[in-house]
Amino acid sequence: MNASLRVGLLGYGLAGSAFHAPLIAVTDGLVLDTVVTANPERQAQVARDRGAGVRTVATADELFARADALDLIVVASPNRTHVPLAERALRAGLPVVVDKPLAATAAEAEHLAALAEERGLLLSPFQNRRWDNDFRTVRALVAEGALGEVLRFESRFERWRPQLKGGWRESGDPGEVGGLLYDLGSHLVDQALALLGPVASVYAESDVRRAGAEADDDVFVALTHRNGVRSHLWMSATAAQLGPRFRVLGTKAAYVKHGLDPQEAALREGALPEPGTPWGVEPEAAWGTLGHLDAAERVPSEAGDYPAYYAGVAAALRDGGPAPVTAREAAEALRVLEAARTSAREGRTVALAAGV
């Protein structure tokens, strides 16, 4: 397969404009063909960002009317649309990438996974933060045994946003699939599962703290993995001072890292991960520390690598290999998120059945 695969992108908000479109643009074997957005300002932004060669259409119907001219659909529209648009793409015979969360429930994710498997099509949730520089560093340290046996994994996405921004992400309507648990929690849970494996039980606390807020904006989730390791995950819009991004405790040492991976900020500013140029690299002052109370040292952070996700998608479509992230993995994470909602609502620990 020598011709580039033509991509249709549904949505040009933050996800579409700052993540998907730029990463598609720098991926060998992919070319952005069409963007769906009904907003005239965003249509003009597409022309500025991506050039005259990328067409814009106002509706999904217009995109799917050209299904035969496309090779991949990317769903980067509001959460409530993820399932119907992904299903429509699969039924049109097109592989699909879906921004997180793939669905509102594990059952919906399993339905989509089964449909994709039945039709022999790729279906992959966009979990780019598996390629964050700090998480890649944590995985490397755990794999090489630098921490000894991992006892507890602490992970945070905290922000200080005392004023509401508005929009569907802060809506209390369950159909919008808003709130921090499904937003930032989708990343945190996915990382915990990727690092430490399946979960046996879930405990959660979920609150709506800000005046006028409708959706959860301050959440804590505690996971007990089947291997006995505990993950403690925080997500908040009400953190006036931020805790460490990661604190991983082991029998030999601990790793502590502050600050955020630099790739999102770079993409928002219009930078591109061009081949041959440094990308996702942190200065030494931002590195985490490894060790214990008597001796600790800075550890160089692995380079962040968001481009690896779409490179994996292109390789899977070209060679028939596995997706970089699978729909079944998304369903497993959604089971944890659903259990967290139940735990917070009912004030109890929720056990997850093995082998589901």
Q: Which residues are catalytic?
A: 100
Tokens representing 289 are 């520390």
CA distance 118 to 12: 30
- At residue 225, what are phi and psi to the nearest 5 degrees? -80, 160
Query: Going by DSSP bridges, is the β-strand pair 288-292/254-257 parallel, antiparallel, or unpaired?
Result: antiparallel
Contact present, 291 and 297 (Cβ < 8 Å): yes
CA distance 181 to 222: 13
Classify 296 as helix, strand or coil: strand
CA distance 107 to 102: 11
Classify 222 as helix, strand or coil: strand
CA distance 308 to 40: 32
Residue 305 has what DSSP assignment?
-
For 177-189, letters b (16+ CB in 10 Å) and e give: bbbbbbbbbbbbb
With both helix axes pointing from N to C terminus, report the angle between 180-196 and 133-143 in degrees, rounded to the nearest 10.
Answer: 30
**Residue whose tokens read 């992400």:** 169
